[in-house]
Amino acid sequence: MNEKATKKTGTTKKTGKGLRMRAAAVGAVCAAMLAGGAGAATAAPLTAPTTHPATVAAATPVMHASITAHANHTSVKSGSSVIISGKVKDIKTGSKLTVSHLNSSGKWTALHASGTVKKHGVYAVHVKLSHKGAQQLRVVHGKTMSPIVHVNVT
């Protein structure tokens, strides 16, 4: 500890690093008291908490998958097909992708159109559209969805 002895009184005076450490500890106790009352302040450890290996694994950053989607035509005749293609990120090669559409009651339902992720994360799915009107389509893999693709069916 960094201390200096005074000649007249024989007491020690705290300086430098020791004083800074003491001020930091007092500040931490004051903050704990403000946050959770005196019980939390007296129970707060002055050492860094240890982490359990399971909590370290949970703190690992999670990769978020994404899907892009584009249609080869924005307007098709009823009964014709449109190709929806794009790229995926953080989805394994060979994974199944399905196409869903927004039905008239406002719910997303899967169509009978699916494809797989190819090398370098690319895909292409042929979708036959028979319902006339504006169709809203998206590509889905688990909880990951592409942005909506609009196709007008005449």
Residue 142 has pLDDT above 90, yes or no: yes
The pLDDT tens digits of the residues spanning 68-79 come to 999 999 999 999
Quote the CA–CA distance of 104 and 72 in Å, as a whole number: 24
pLDDT at position 105, please?
94
Mean pLDDT score of the chain: 80
Cα distances from 3 to residues 17, 19, 24, 46, 76, in angstroms, run 10, 9, 18, 22, 85
Contact assessment for residue 115 and residue 93, using Cβ atoms and an 8 Å cutoff: no
Q: What is the pTM of this model?
A: 0.60
What pairs with residue 85 in β-bridges? 70, 124
| pLDDT for the residue numbered 33 | 61
Query: Is the CB of residue 146 less than 8 Å from the CB of residue 111?
Result: no
For residue 148, name the pLDDT band (cuts at 50, 70, 90).
Answer: very high
Q: Which pLDDT belongs to residue 15?
A: 56
